[in-house]
Structure 1
């Protein structure tokens, strides 16, 4: 699907998503353990800290952002992990910034 054909399901009008991003840390030997602990180890202790880092790094993006949509997991991966770590981060980031998180706005249909 191309973005030019994306439509709002509620209003049936064309939409043009403004997708931008920032990295808050390098994925290297120093940070790998923290990220993998959240992703696979059910270690939620760092979520608030990571969300604050995300808010700081994305300050310019968040000024004109209304919703935060996390990357969805395929249902089989979600079952094996029990939760979507990007949804957890998106929810906390939304709480910190006064934005709306919509974790189930997108669905991953292919198991990648």
Structure 2
């Protein structure tokens, strides 16, 4: 029981996935920490390479997963796809909270 996605949804997933992949490349290869967010400060400046690699790889993997949603629809039903999306959201939250705790200075007003 698969659902047929409209063309605008498929196109938007491809565009969003390509955007994540491009941003991941820029963060990882060019070490553009400013793409993560404004006011991001590292606890140790020598960890810039590690943080950029981790967030770049995360962004590329997320982009590939977003682009794969229409293709996954061919093999799985909508419930399984929603479970994959839910697991990805939870894993993303865990990733960012862990990254923030280990590498970033907490925000202060």
User: Do they fold alike, i.e. is TM over 0.5?
Assistant: no
Shorter-chain TM-score range: under 0.3
Pick 1 or 2: higher relative contact order, CA cutoff 8 A, min separation 6: 2
TM-score, normalising length: structure 2: 0.26
Q: Which structure has the larger Rg over C-alpha atoms?
A: 2
TM-score, normalising length: structure 1: 0.25
